[in-house]
Amino acid sequence: MFEILGKTNIDFMGKWRIAFAFSGVMVLLGIIALVQIARGAANMGIDFAGGTAVQLKFEKPIHIDEARRALESNGLAHAELQEFSQENKLLVRIKAATTIEEKTAEQVMAVFRKEFPDNKFVVESSTEIGPTIGQKLQSDALIAILISFAGIVLYIAARFELRFGVAAALATFHDVLAVLGAFYILDKEITLLVVTALLTLAGYSLTDTVVVFDRIRENLRMRRREPEGTIMNTAINQVLSRTIVTSLTVVIVLIPLVLGGGEVLHDFSLALLWGVIFGTYSSVFVATPLITLWPGGPSRLLKRG
């Protein structure tokens, strides 16, 4: 047998204080990010905030500073530029404040046609979103998040018990917030795709947590005499290699997607990649200790079996 890990006996539960300190910081970042989003101060994509994005592909390389100057001198001062230099692509984003009636996309094209007459370009994509659509999307995204969380807590509570459900939901929140916080710190744009990635990673991180919980449930039924902490530690050690291997296969898949999946999918797969890593960490270091912190009498499951 080829194994990454042999039989391990690591005291995961004992390290919960360090883990919680680290997680606390990440969650705090995530909460700050959430507050900033609610205040409208975060770097929201135009699909939420409304605005215009135009992606142009030029024949010759174009310098981002020259492009910015050209736009500024033509009255488009608030443009955000991003280049994909190996392919001479330029992404111009202008947020909100503009209405579509002003035809910002066409203005941008006109500026480049005028200022760089000998560097022809094709329009790869142009997106214009009115502010009302953005608000609708925001509320839809929020509903989707709430519904899926409610569904998950209910399902896990039914399959295990309430404290497992709550712990799993909290751990999942932790993962989502951590990735959101990381995106916020790196000033990455929160787009609809990123939100989709956050929801997907929530689902994935749960999968991971469930694998651990499942073993804990099994062990709780079999070794009723041992203290809960020991049982949980054993369970984690038992499932450690499968937890790592399952995450590893997803990581293997995501890396090519991050590196070569194209500009549209880059942030999406990056969010998923971080999510998988956080998700693995949290099922071991966050979700499981959370169960033991739950106040209350002896477990219903302990009496069963």
Partner 1 sequence: MKKVGGRLLALTAVIVASVVFFLPSYPPLYNELPRWLRAVLPDKGITLGLDLQGGIHLVLEVEEDRAVEIAVDRAVVAVQDLLLEKKIPAESVKRAGSSQIAISFQNPDLRSQVQKLLDDFPTYVEVETSGTANSVGWTMREAEIKRIKDSAINQALETIRNRIDQFGVAEPLIQRQGQKQIVVQLPGIKDPKMAKDLIKQTALLEFKMLDEEAQMKVELPGRILKGKDREDALLKQVESKVPEGDQILFERVTQKDGMQEYLIPYLVKKRVMLAGDVLSDARVSIGQFNEPYVSVTFDAKGAREFDRITGDNVKKRMAIVLDNTIYSAPVIQERITGGRAQITGTFSMEEANNLAIVLRAGALPAPLKIIQDLTVGPSLGRDSIEKGVRATLIAGILVVLFMAIYYRLSGVIADFALILNLVCLIGALAALNATLTLPGIAGIILTIGMGVDSNVLIFERIREELRQGKTVRLAVDSGYDKALLTIVDSHVTTLITGFALFLFGTGPIKGFAVTLCLGIAINLFTALVGTKVIFDVINQRRKVEQLSI
Task: Return the residues of window 235-274 that contact partner 1 according to CB under 8 A.
Answer: 238-239, 241-242, 245-246, 248-257, 260-262, 264-265, 268-269, 272
The reply to whether 170 sits near partner 1 by the rule CB under 8 A is no
Residue 133-162 contact track with partner 1, rule CB under 8 A, x = bound: x---x--xx-xxx-xx--xx--xx--x---
Interface positions, 18-37, toward partner 1 (CB under 8 A): none
Q: What are phi and psi of 87, to 5 degrees?
A: -115, 10
Indicate the length of the chain as a whole number: 305
The nearer residue to partner 1, 27 or 270, going by C-beta atoms, is 270
In the complex, the smallest distance separating the C-beta of residue 82 from partner 1, rounded to whole angstroms, is 15
In the complex, the smallest distance separating the C-beta of residue 278 from partner 1, rounded to whole angstroms, is 16
Residue 92-121 contact track with partner 1, rule CB under 8 A, x = bound: --------xx---xx---------------
Total residues interacting with partner 1, rule: CB under 8 A = 73
Output the CA torsion 92→97→98→99 (10° steps): 130
Distance CA 49, CA 168 (A): 32
Among 130, 170, 224, 226, binds partner 1 (CB under 8 A): 130
The reply to whether 196 sits near partner 1 by the rule CB under 8 A is yes
Buried b (16+ CB within 10 A) or exposed e, 145-155: beeebeebbee
The nearer residue to partner 1, 19 or 206, going by C-beta atoms, is 206
The nearer residue to partner 1, 32 or 258, going by C-beta atoms, is 258
Closest to 129 (Cα-Cα) out of 111, 145, 105: 105
- The residue behind tokens 């443009």 is 79
Q: Which residues pair with 55 in a beta bridge?
A: 91, 125
The reply to whether 288 sits near partner 1 by the rule CB under 8 A is no
Distance CA 181, CA 29 (A): 5
CA 155 to chain centre: 22
The reply to whether 234 sits near partner 1 by the rule CB under 8 A is no
The reply to whether 221 sits near partner 1 by the rule CB under 8 A is no
Q: Which residues pair with 190 in a beta bridge?
A: 44
